[in-house]
Amino acid sequence: MPSARAHDLITVLSGAALTPLAYRFYLDHIQLEPNTALTCSLWLGGAHLVSGIMFSPDLDIDSAIDNRWGIFFWIWRPYMWLIPHRAFWSHSLIISPLLRLGYFAAVVYGLAWMVVWLLGQLGFTPPAYHRELAAWVAGLVTAHPTQTWAFVIGFCTGSAAHTVADWLVTKGNWLLGSYGRRLRRRYRNHDQWIPRHERQRW
């Protein structure tokens, strides 16, 4: 499998190619105003990058990706425990990025709910932040459906660029025979994965 660095490069290059294509598509086929077409294509390109770099399919193992979340790395721990590595739930084209997005939204909602609950236990009566947050997102989605679609599509293409690269290397290994086996050996330590007992964090 390509390393995290190779995946980043693929994400950036495909994002750079996709954004102007999306702009043309929005102009010519959806007939959006140039300004809206620009906003939508930037949302699409931005989501592509965020999805590939921060929400990478390889979040299903303890990889270089989860380190990018810094002190928030633990957000992805339950995900890592639940999702089998490189299977359908993490490496499919549409379901897996949407699952990560939904998972992240659920975590943020849960955290907001916990803050409200804790403040309640301390005798405060805070506003229902979790519900306000959900209402704010729902409002954004309803007010800007085209931009929302651009974001969702970009989020899926960012993940797909990763999955397709993984597939190509796997298929390439098979097609290329002995050269492929050499490649596979080189990628055995992909994503700087290290066994749990050798990790410094623990």
Interface with Zn ion includes 60 (CB under 5 A)?
no
| Shortest Cβ 106–Zn ion spacing (Å) | 23
Smallest distance, Å, CB 164 to Zn ion?
10
Smallest separation, CB 167 to Zn ion (Å): 9
Q: Nearer to Zn ion by C-beta: 52 or 154?
A: 52
Q: Is 166 in the site for Zn ion (CB under 5 A)?
A: yes
- Is 66 among the residues that bind Zn ion (CB under 5 A)? no
Smallest separation, CB 2 to Zn ion (Å)? 8
Closest alpha carbon to 74 in 104, 116, 112: 104
Q: Tell me which H or E stretch contains 9.
A: helix 4-28
Point out which span in 30-38, 49-57, 62-70, 72-80 binds Zn ion (CB under 5 A). 49-57
Size of the site for Zn ion (CB under 5 A): 3
DSSP string, 16-85: HHHHHHHHHHHHHTS---HHHHHHHHHHHHHHHHHHHHTS-GGGGSS-HHHHTTGGGGGGGHHHHHHSPT
CA 101/CA 148 separation, integer angstroms: 13
| Listed ranges 29-37, 101-109, 144-152, 158-166: which one lies at the site for Zn ion (CB under 5 A) | 158-166
- The two tokens of residue 167 are 């597939």
Nearer to Zn ion, 73 or 193 (CB): 193
CB atoms within 10 A of CB 174: 11
Which C-beta is closer to Zn ion: that of 52 or that of 57? 57
26, 40, 58, 79: which one binds Zn ion (CB under 5 A): 58
- Terminal-residue alpha carbon distance, the chain: 26
How many Cα atoms are found within 13 Å in the side-chain-facing hemisphere of 49?
A: 11
Contact positions toward Zn ion, by CB under 5 A?
57-58, 166
